[in-house]
Every structure is written in structure tokens, then in C-alpha cells.
Amino acid sequence: MGVEVVVDGLSKSFGAQSIWRDVSLTLPPGEISVLLGPSGTGKSVFLKSLVGLLKPERGKVVINGVDICTCPERDLYEVRKLFGVLFQDGALFGSMNLFDNIAFPLREHTRKGESEIRRIVLEKMEMVGLIGAEDKLPGEISGGMRKRAGLARALVLDPEIILVDEPDSGLDPVRTVLLNQLIVDLNAQIDATILIVTHDINTARTVPDNIGMLYRRSLVMYGPREVLLTSAEPAVVQFLNGRPDGPIGMSEEKDTSPGELARLSEVAVPPMMPQLEVTPGMPERTAVRRRKERVLRQLRTLAPSAQQEILKTLTPEELALYGISAPATGSWPQQSEPATAPAWPQQAAPAPLPQDEVADVPQQVRPSPHPRDPEAPPWAGSAEPEPVESSRRRWFGRKRGEQ
Ligand SMILES: Nc1ncnc2c1ncn2[C@@H]1O[C@H](COP(=O)(O)OP(=O)(O)OP(=O)(O)O)[C@@H](O)[C@H]1O
């Protein structure tokens, strides 16, 4: 399983220009997260800070117990081996064919022999659908193929954390969806922690488990996808609807007129879209189960609209297990008699099916093998949800020093 990345109070400037301040978030292990934000808000700078290519002046990035902002170079070198990074343009060497480009990290960072390198490179090229293009130069292939080649190169060292910078830039909508599907399938296969930086709304609405948004030098929101995708926060609504009116303008410092805000408040939050599922025949995404448990534990801290959407994803069996009797009605879930934690049926992960048998594989929703403690349901302790103000503070960030 991928590793957790904990970002705590991170601030980055270039000279007098502050890029973002006091950013705190956790990328849960093996889950897919997306970082959204208007152009120039420092999303790429954030990715580079996560991998230690840029040094923030305050805060921590803790990976496997190592704070990469302050650790010695030697430790940073070790932690970097956990990462695979797909840069916007694939960052391929123009004079090398795809095979050599993808083999490059193996030749640079390992002592593997050429036959082993060949096996690994061809395996990764197969994963991204590039078999047959080994001898092509980057200049001879399409932008989508270059992205996939960059992804294959990011995979050769078996990363536990994959950072993807704008996978959709320069791709048509169909290629974007196909690349998104590839990322979801990859996550199912290798269970790596993935962070995607994008401003593509469709990607944000269909791919991640968690979403954050950078805006005006802050992380204005971060959490389970249902939180941002149902938020009525003006900047989020404007962004998700691609509206010209609202707080986001051509320049970052734009002021919003009361008229604009009024117009925006009439804009409906677009309905949630279902998350992309893995291609039939692939292993299941084990992160889905882990995330469900994690999110249910924090359910009552989330906005009511987010709770509704989360509850809609539960099967009747899961609703019964978690003692929820009134899902998705607009009201706080009623807790029924706590279920005595049943033993989940043990199931082996389904074996990949042959290609000619993959059609119409029924979706399996597997209950968690780690059911909650029946004595402590996620919403125990109060029949009422957390006050809106404190749940807003949780999702809209807090000032430094505030608890
Ligand atoms: N090495 C650097 N030195 C100085 N300024 C930099 C450096 N790298 C980035 N910046 C500045 O940081 C700001 C944020 O840039 P960044 O590329 O991270 O934005 P972004 O959100 O990824 O934008 P986009 O969505 O357009 O790619 C920009 O103003 C940019 O000029």
C-alpha cells in the first residue's frame, strides 16, 4: 500500500511573493487526491515542495516519519525513491526513444541488468498501452502518448506515491477520460498514494477520493470529494461551474461585487457525478473500502450536504451495519440499535479475468474487514451534527495558532 503524506503548516514564497501560506493536509495512503485551483495559485509549486525540489520556508512534509523539509540530503534521497512524478509535458528526453526514456531511472538509480530492465520497461509500457512504440522518439508521437510514456517512466521504480501535474493539459476530452481511467486502474493495481494537480473540472468530479482547492494563497478546502463537490462556497461554485462572475478573476486579487455574489448564490451546485470505477477485470481498488471507513468515522464533522452524498454510497447492508436508519433524507442520520460487529465474509481479491471475459463483470461492493467499534459509532456522543461554524472552520482552513 502507498504511504501517507502529511503536510503541516507549509508556507512558500519566492522573494517578496508569497505563493501560499499555512497549508495543512494529509494524503491518505493508497487514495487518489486532487488539488484544484485557478492558474498561478501555486499547484505546481506545491507538488515540487512535496518531492523536495523546492524548500518551503515554514512547515513540514512528513513521509514515513521523515520531515523532508529539514532532513539531511541523504534521507531526502531515500524518501524520493518512494515517488514517481509525471510532469505536465511528460518531461521526456527528446533525443531518446521511448524505451530508453522509460528505462532511464532504472539505469540511473539501480544496478539491474539489461534483461531485467527490459522486462520492467515492457511491463510498464504494457500497463499504459504503449507496447509497439518502444522505438519512437517523443517528437514522433501524440501528446497523449507522451503523457502515457511519462507515466510509464514514473512507474518503473515501483513508486508508493505518484504525483501527476495536469494530466489533462493539451489532451482532448476523450484522451483525458482515458488517461483518468488509466490512473484509476493503476491505483487498483498498485495501491499507490496519488495526488493529481489539475484545473479540469471533469477530472475533479470523477477521479479522486479527496479534493482540495488552492485559492488566494490558502488551501480553502480539503477533504472527502463530497465536501468540495457539494460546497456552496462562492469560489468553489464559480470554479466548478466555470463561471465568469464570482471571486475568481483574471487577476488573483479581484474583488467581488455584491451583484456578482448574488448572481453566484443563484447558481446551483452541479449534481455529484459517480466516481470512475476500475475497468472490469482489474483488481478492486482497496482504497475505496479504507476510505469508506475513514470517512464514516469523520461523518458528523462534515457539512450536511456532504453527509448526504456519502450516505448515498452505502449499500443497505452497510447502512444496517453502521446503524443508519434514515439515509439521504436531508436530516441527520438516525442511529438505530448498534449492530454487533458481524464478521465480514472473507473474500479473496478477484483474479483478473481474461480479456474476452471482462464484459459485464458485476460490481462488487465489499464490506469492510475492519468494521467500526460498535460501542463508538462515527456519530456517537451527540444526536446533533457539529455546529456549522466549526465544521466550516475545519474545511475552510484555520488561522495559524488556532485550534
Ligand atoms: N522557481 C520559481 N521562482 C520564482 N517564482 C516561481 C518559481 N516557480 C513558480 N513561481 C511562481 O509561483 C506562482 C505559482 O506558479 P505555479 O506554476 O505553481 O502555479 P499553478 O497553480 O501550477 O499554475 P497553472 O495552473 O497555470 O499551471 C507563479 O506566480 C510563478 O511565477
Which strands, in side-by-side order, build the sheet including 17-27?
A: 17-27, 5-14, 58-63, 66-67
Pocket residues: Cβ below 6 A from ligand 1:
14, 19, 37, 39-45, 199
Atom number in ligand 1 closest to CA 199: 25
Q: Which three-class secondary structure state does DSSP give residue 324?
A: strand
Count CB-CB contacts under 10 A for residue 27: 26
Q: Which three-class secondary structure state does DSSP give residue 385?
A: coil
Residue 174 binned pLDDT confidence (cut-offs 50, 70, 90): confident
The residue count of the chain comes to: 403
Atom number in ligand 1 closest to CA 45: 18
Alpha carbons 153 and 109: distance in angstroms, whole number: 13
Residue 233 has, within 13 A of its CA and on its CB side, a CA count of 21
- Under 8 Å between Cβ of 61 and 68: yes
Q: Which three-class secondary structure state does DSSP give residue 304?
A: helix
Q: Which of 67-76, 238-247, 372-381 has the highest mean pLDDT?
A: 67-76
Ligand 1 pocket mutation pick from 14, 55, 200 by most atoms within 8 angstroms of CB = 14
- Under 8 Å between Cβ of 210 and 230: no
Q: Give the pTM.
A: 0.78
Atom 29 in ligand 1: residue holding the nearest Cα: 40
Atom 5 in ligand 1: residue holding the nearest Cα: 14
H helices, E strands: number in the chain: 14, 10
* 10 bridge partner residues: 23
Residue 14 has phi, psi (to 5 degrees) of -120, 110
pLDDT of 218 higher than 60: yes
Q: What is the pLDDT of residues 223-240, one digit of tens each?
A: 999 999 998 888 888 888
Ligand 1 pocket mutation pick from 17, 45, 163 by most atoms within 8 angstroms of CB = 45
* Interval between CA 19 and ligand 1 midpoint (Å): 8
Pairing of strands 17-27, 5-14: antiparallel
* Interval between CA 121 and ligand 1 midpoint (Å): 32
* Predicted complex ipTM: 0.97
Ligand 1 pocket mutation pick from 34, 44, 85 by most atoms within 8 angstroms of CB = 44
Q: What is the pLDDT of residues 318-363, one digit of tens each?
A: 888 877 765 444 444 443 433 333 333 333 333 332 333 322 222 2
